[in-house]
Amino acid sequence: MSEPTLILRDVAIYKGWLDLGEQAALVTALRDVVARAPLFQPVTPTGRAMSVRMTSAGRYGWISDGQRYRYARHHPDGMAWPPIPEPVLAIWRALVSETRLPDCCLINHYTTEARMGLHQDRDEVDFSWPVLSVSLGDDALFRIGNLTRGGKTDSLWLASGDVVVMGGAARLVYHGIDRIRPGSSSLLRGGGRINLTCRVVM
């Protein structure tokens, strides 16, 4: 297993883990997923549309049912989620596990205006496995806090090709995306950012 570039609050950060060719191949595979399972805007339990658009690949996908967030076997439009693309699984195998593969690859799409408020990822049943994140496209200002709301936070710019692994003590910390830096990458036509998070759900 390779050494992370840096470790911040138990979050392992691998800067530039993917080269440009690998990033482009990933984008091609993700376009195929999105063609079969379109991006949608989840509605928060308070009834507001999230600014980030999402879809999933894998056995389970993350949805909002209008009351709460949960993992579901089907897209809101009724289709099964497409399989997780092989190049995504290859990153998981290299950095997390060769035996246990993720149940869900959540795909987040950020336009320039999109953001994600501080939250915990706790809709999964099994927290013993890390969450693996892959950034593609424009830079994003990632903020990481604590196991409870409030307290000091650290911020870090994530760039295209960076991979982050949140395991152990980091698995349940509050985190979010404060803003996107428009025009910082030419990977995605039309700009914006894609973030993948691979999760063991059940």
Chain contacts with ligand MD3 (rule: CB under 6 A): 106, 108, 116, 121, 131, 133, 140, 164, 166, 170-171, 173, 175, 177, 195, 197
User: Cβ of residue 170: shortest distance to Fe ion, in angstroms?
Assistant: 11
Known binding-site residues equal 62, 69-71, 108-110, 119, 121, 123, 149, 175, 193-199
Q: Partners of 38 in the beta sheet?
A: none
Q: Closest approach of Cβ 69 to ligand MD3, in Å?
A: 10
| Shortest reach from residue 192's CB to ligand MD3, in Å | 12
CA-atom Rg of the chain in angstroms: 16
Q: Of 2-10, 42-50, 101-109, 118-126, which segment contacts Fe ion by CB under 5 A? A: 118-126
CB of 22 to Fe ion, least distance (A): 23
Distances (CA, A) of 106 to 13, 39, 72, 148, 194: 19, 11, 12, 24, 10
**Of 57-65, 91-99, 115-123, 160-168, which segment contacts Fe ion by CB under 5 A?**
115-123
Asked if 74 and 62 count as a contact pair (C-beta separation under 8 A), the reply is no
What is the SS3 string spanning 45-67? CCCCECCCEEEEEECCEEEECCC
199 touches, from ligand MD3, Fe ion, none (C-beta below 5 to 8 Å by class): none
Q: Are 121 and 103 in contact (CB under 8 A)?
A: no
Helix (H) or strand (E) holding 119: strand 116-119
Question: What is the chain's percent helix, strand, coil content, to nearest 5?
Answer: 15, 35, 50
Q: Rounded to an integer, what distance in angstroms lies between the CA atom of residue 88 and that of residue 102?
A: 10
Q: Please report whether residue 121 would count as binding Fe ion according to CB under 5 A.
A: yes
In the complex with ligand MD3, the residue whose CB is nearer, 75 or 175, is 175
Q: Which of the stretches 22-30, 51-59, 68-76, 120-128 binds Fe ion when contact is defined by CB under 5 A?
A: 120-128
Q: How many residues bind Fe ion (CB under 5 A)?
A: 1
Provide the binding-site residues for Fe ion, judged by CB under 5 A.
Answer: 121
